Chain A
């Protein structure tokens, strides 16, 4: 007979759970725990929201993805200097 997860054990598996990497045995035990523990369900929901917020946290960065012209020139000149054409 399988032992029930405690909250401590359940929380340890949440990242693998969210990433879809939890083996079937642990998944069944985690689901069983979540079915009876609203506190861990809240924890899971907040952790899932945290991951979503993290993934969007740098969404504006690509709009600023411009390399300054001086740096372009500096890199190209350094390349010419350091690695002359073979």
Chain B
């Protein structure tokens, strides 16, 4: 579901027979959807919530919400896209109900400038191994740990835009903020994450 290409609709994918069976209350079709889509959607909830128990609860809440609303599904989007949006919403609701953790202010992680507009501190050159290990589990875990250190508002935008590959409009709608705000938060989140990754990948300057 990238911004670059229009995702096919349920009608284009000929999901209509499955949707019709769901709308008629066919138990086997519900089981098919839960088994085929559940794992992928659990990953989405897990990425947002971190906690496995919360993710399982959000998946259950979200799927039941979707099943309740299936009568209103018109096939304008792919069924999986529609379900994804509902699960993200369920996960966000659960996230908001949790006590907010103590967060490091994003400003600490953003670049600073001199009065003439030049960067106040040099940018370390990243060594060549930074991207060489991109497929390695150890590198991926390090990056995930750094993402988890971002303030929540920024982590969510980064997650939805750069990992779950939603477009700006879809992200704005889910988070209830403007598209301009999504762009600002994404830029700051990427900058802050770069700062957090620098000790791992940056070469020390003389």
Q: Which residues of A contact B (CB under 8 A)?
A: 6-9, 11-12, 14-16, 39-40, 42-43, 45-47, 49-62, 64-68, 71-72, 74-76, 78-80, 82-83, 85-86
Evaluate contact between B35 and A83: CB separation under 8 angstroms. Answer: no
The answer to whether A67 touches B59, judged by C-beta atoms less than 8 angstroms apart, is yes
Residue B47 interfacial (CB < 8 Å): yes
Within 8 Å CB of B130, what residues of A? 49, 53
User: Assuming A6-B117, A50-B193, A51-B162, is B123 touching A39 (CB within 8 A)?
Assistant: yes
Q: State whether B117 touches A9 (Cβ < 8 A).
A: yes
Taken together as a complex, chains A and B put the C-alpha atoms of A71 and B186 apart, in Å, by: 34
Residues in B lying within 8 Å of A, measured CB to CB: 24-25, 27, 30-31, 34-35, 38-40, 42-43, 46-47, 56, 59-60, 63-64, 67-68, 111, 113, 116-119, 122-126, 130-131, 134-135, 137, 139-140, 143-144, 147, 158, 162-163, 183, 186-187, 190-191, 193-194, 197-198, 201-202
Contacts A60-B137, A71-B38 supplied; 20 other A-B pairs, CB < 8 Å:
A7-B117, A8-B113, A9-B117, A15-B183, A39-B123, A40-B119, A40-B123, A46-B194, A46-B198, A50-B197, A53-B139, A54-B158, A58-B47, A60-B140, A71-B59, A75-B34, A76-B34, A83-B67, A85-B27, A86-B25
Complex-state Cα separation, A32 to B154, whole angstroms = 30
**Is the CB–CB distance between A46 and B134 below 8 Å?**
no
Q: Does B163 lie within 8 Å of A58, measured CB to CB?
A: yes
Given known A-B contacts A61-B43, A71-B59, A83-B68, A49 and B140 have beta carbons under 8 A apart: no
Name A55's closest neighbour in chain B (CB-CB).
Answer: B162
Number of A-B contacts (CB under 8 A): 147
How many angstroms from the CA of A4 to the CA of B60 in the assembled complex? 54
* Residues in chain B near residue A9, CB distance under 8 A: 117
Return A60 CB to nearest CB of chain B, in Å.
Answer: 6
Bound together, the chains give a CA A9 to CA B31 distance in angstroms of 53
Q: List 30 A-B contacts (CB under 8 A).
A: A6-B113, A6-B116, A7-B117, A7-B119, A8-B113, A15-B187, A42-B125, A46-B198, A46-B202, A47-B194, A50-B190, A50-B197, A51-B190, A52-B131, A55-B162, A57-B144, A58-B43, A60-B140, A61-B43, A61-B46, A62-B43, A65-B42, A65-B43, A68-B56, A71-B38, A75-B34, A75-B60, A75-B63, A76-B31, A85-B25
